[in-house]
Structure 1
Amino acid sequence: MYAILDIETTGGQFNEEGITEIAIYKFDGDKVVDQFISLVNPQIEIQPFVVKLTGISNAMLRLAPKFYEVAKRIIEITTDCVIVAHNADFDYRVIRTEFRRLGYDFNRDTLCTVELSQKLLPEAKSHSLGKLVRSLGIPIADRHRAHGDAMATLKLFQLLLSKDHEKTILKSMIKSDIRTGINPKFLDIADSLPSTVGIYYIHNEEGQIIFIGKSQNIKKKVLQHFTSNTTVFKKIQQETYTVTYEKTGNELIAMLKEAEEITINKPKYNKVSKKNIYPYSLYIKTNLNGYHYFAIEKTDGRKRNVMAFTSPTEGRKFVQSITHHFELPFFLEMINEKKSKKVTEANFSDTIEMNKTDYNCNLLELLVNYNIDQDNLLIINKGRKVEEKSAVVLEEGKLRGYCFYDLNYQVNSLDRLQSNLTTITFNRNNRNIILNYLNKKTGYKLVHI
């Protein structure tokens, strides 16, 4: 659990500042579950330059509660939370000073989004909150007011969570929970999980990730793990301390993210297979007369495939689906599913009453909706919430990563898109994951930019 906060102060000498406004959003890694926003009467004068910067004046604060009147609420909303702030050292120091004046020792773990953004967004020209979120296309309202800056910090933190492939942020939260002695049972763990698509991470008592999985229904899948009698999952059950998760909005991002993070984190109970997860592919070949034809073969990483399949039968069904309304004759060269040798037929081009250029164009047109190799391509899909969308980004067939966005202008600019991107390493399996997804799923939209 995180407490994303921001404060405004009176300014002045070190450790003599007073708080004029505070905003705290309690965030469970998925959504805001509580919030507290209040002006605060600091009982000292505000520096003139601060009044000009924030718009908060001494007159506005005369009837505002004093810090001791809101202290209990601050303790309550931040209990068992990691405090997250932009320049956390400053906010945390000022809050601790205010509590120290009341004779209370306020101690919380902290995360600084300045430091996190420097690590995860090293290419950013500036790491100040205003310039950084604008460069990422994150909307910010009421700049230099606590609630506006805290909400912008929250949205920035969500982006940083998705970019954190090594899961250092999640691990720090789990270690904090361990120190507080929280040890939920399996049913309590499952109750906290969403019934939606995403990635889940099973942690041991040291906070280490021991298993990473994906599912269309995270809660259902994790419950299956907890009730499984297989040797592997019995071991996982014995070592499980807690489960964290990340919503992905759709299965494509979940599959790509799972493959990437298993490779990076190497959880002890995930097997990294060297085999191609899509062992069969569709290729376009050309016969001696220059006519194109379809061929389903074992996947060859040295050749660029048109589609990827788990079986030859799946490949045959795909060809049948795209040629359903095709009025011209065509030839499918099919690997034999049992004997692993190809079926041959007579030279089909003898029956075609069309020159090879026109025929080949007609055949390739059948695959236009699955072409990921030309230009820069976005695969637009569902986001993690109703008002959000996602985009998987490819440049000339090479996967760059994915992003989530609320507003169209966030993906119209290549520069802004690049800074908002959670990168994913391009490899053959990721290409095949995308191709197979385009074959089997609906609801996505391909946009060339």
Structure 2
Amino acid sequence: MYTILDIETTGGKYNEEGITEIAIYKYNGHEIVDQFISLINPERDIQPFVVNLTGINNSMLRNAPKFYEIAKRIIEITEETILVAHNAKFDYRILRTEFKRLGYDFSRKTLCTVELAKDLIPDQNSYSLGKLTRSLGIPVGERHRASGDALATVKLFKMLLAKDVNKKIVQESIRLEPKYQMEPRLLDILDELPSITGVYYMHKADGEIIYIGKSKNIRTRVNQHFTSDNPKSKRIQLQVAAVTYEETGSELVALLKESEEIKRNKPIYNRALRRTIFTHGLYSFTDSQGYLNLKVAKINGKVKPITTFSNLQSAKSFMSKITDEYNLCQKLTGMYSTRSNCFNYTIKQCFGACIEKEDPTDYNSRTSQLIHKHRFENQNMVIIDRGRSVDERSAILIENGVFRGLGFYNLNYQINNIEVLQSIITPMQNNRDTQHIIQSYLRRNKKLKVLEFNANSNNS
């Protein structure tokens, strides 16, 4: 559990500042579960430049509570949480100083979103809250007011959690939070899980990830783990102390994150999934009559396939669909073995390539369209899919045929150039598995929005 806060002060000499406003949002990694916002009478004058910056003046604070009057609420809302702030060193020092004046030793673990952003979103022009949120498309309410800045920090922290593919932030929080060190009963864990699409992480008591999975319904899937009597599930049930999750909205994002994070974290019970997840590929060759043929074969690692399939049955199903869709010849797609015409020719769905009646140029044009559509090579595109809320979308970036990563953006924020897109994207590994996942998903979801762009231009 995290408490994300922002403090406005009077300004002045080091360790002599007073708090004028505080906003604290208790955040469980997915949503705000509690909050505390208050003006505070600092019992000293506010520096003129601070009044100009925040709009908070001395008269506004005359009847506001003094710090000692709200100190108990701050202790309660932050208890057993990690304090998160943009430039946490400053906010934590101010809080500790105020509590020290009351004779109380206030101590909490802290996380700084400036430091996290420098690590997870490198090469930004500025890491000030205003400029960073603007470059990432994060809406900010009242700037330089505690509530507006704290809410912006919540949204920034949510993005940073998504970018932390090694799960260092979450694993560290589980080690620190007593509530996660956990009740032995699996039902207690299950009660905290939602029925949403995303990736889930099973942890031991020390935070170590022992299993990563994805599901369109996380609660139902974890329940299956907890009720199964197969040997692996039994071992997981004995060791699991907590289950954390990351909502993705999009099944494609969940599939890609699951694949990436299994390879990065190497959980002990994911060994089977570390292997390649496809067996067959689609290949092309030109026959002696000049016709472009397609064939399905086992992946051999020597020749790069046009696209890949999880198994032979999946490949056959795809070939049947595209043969009809593109009016291809069953003989030249390997679907119908014959020395004469294919069956589709007799029902006038094939134009006669099987008996050299159709001109090879015409036939090859349709086959080439199919190959281009399903091959990543040299393609530049953004796949737009569902986000984690109604006003959000996910974006998967393919650049020059290479999967670059994924991210989320608000619908009110227009992605109008590749540089903006790259700033919200979490970089991820491009490999044969990710290409297979994306190609398979695109085949299944034909209504998915795909934006093509010119690699030499900033306009998408």
Mapped partners of 2:251, 2:27: distance in 1: 24
Match of 2:309? Answer: 309
Unaligned runs of 5+ in 1: 336-341
Shift of 1:20: 0.8
Distance 1:293 1:181, change over 3 A: closer
Alignment of 1:369-408 (within 5 A): 370-407=374-411
Mapped partners of 2:339, 2:56: distance in 1: 82
CA RMSD of aligned residues (A): 2.3
Look up the equivalent residue of 1:226 and give its one-letter code. F
Mapped partners of 1:442, 1:187: distance in 2: 39
Look up the equivalent residue of 1:22 and give its one-letter code. I
1:289 equivalent in alignment to 2:293: no
Maintained 8 Å contact 1:262/1:272: no
Alignment of 1:347-358 (within 5 A): 349=353, 351-358=355-362
Q: Please list the CA deviations of residues 318-349 of structure 1 after superposition, one character each: whole Å capped at 9, or x if unmatched.
A: 122233354463534549xxxxxx96755873
Distance 1:315 1:107, change over 3 A: same
- Over the matched positions of the two proteins, sequence identity in percent amounts to 50
Q: Please list the CA deviations of residues 104-158 of structure 1 after superposition, one character each: whole Å capped at 9, or x if unmatched.
A: 3222211111111121122222222122222222222322111111111111111
SS in 1 for 2:395: strand
Match of 1:134? Answer: 134
1:445 equivalent in alignment to 2:441: no
Shift of 1:427: 0.5
Counterpart of 1:428 (choices 428, 432, 440) is 432
Q: Please list the CA deviations of residues 142-181 of structure 1 after superposition, one character each: whole Å capped at 9, or x if unmatched.
A: 2211111111111111111111121110011101114886
SS in 2 for 1:323: helix
Mapped partners of 2:65, 2:132: distance in 1: 33
Alignment of 1:319-334 (within 5 A): 319-327=319-327, 329-334=329-334
Maintained 8 Å contact 2:331/2:354: no
Shift of 1:401: 0.4
Match of 2:105? Answer: 105
Q: Please list the CA deviations of residues 394-417 of structure 1 after superposition, one character each: whole Å capped at 9, or x if unmatched.
A: 012210000101136453221111
Look up the equivalent residue of 1:35 and give its one-letter code. Q
Alignment of 1:159-308 (within 5 A): 159-178=159-178, 182-183=182-183, 185-271=185-271, 275-308=275-308
Match of 2:344? Answer: none
Unaligned runs of 5+ in 2: 342-351, 454-460
Maintained 8 Å contact 1:248/1:254: yes
Maintained 8 Å contact 2:197/2:247: yes
Q: Which moved more, 1:344-353 or 1:49-58?
A: 344-353
Q: Which has the higher contact order (CA 8 A, sep 6+)?
A: 1
Look up the equivalent residue of 1:401 and give its one-letter code. G
SS in 1 for 2:162: helix
TM-score by length of 2: 0.90
Q: Which moved more, 1:147-156 or 1:367-376?
A: 367-376
Shift of 1:102: 2.4
Q: Please list the CA deviations of residues 66-106 of structure 1 after superposition, one character each: whole Å capped at 9, or x if unmatched.
A: 22222222222222211110111110111122222223322
Shift of 1:351: 2.7
SS in 2 for 1:411: coil
Shift of 1:375: 3.7
TM-score by length of 1: 0.92
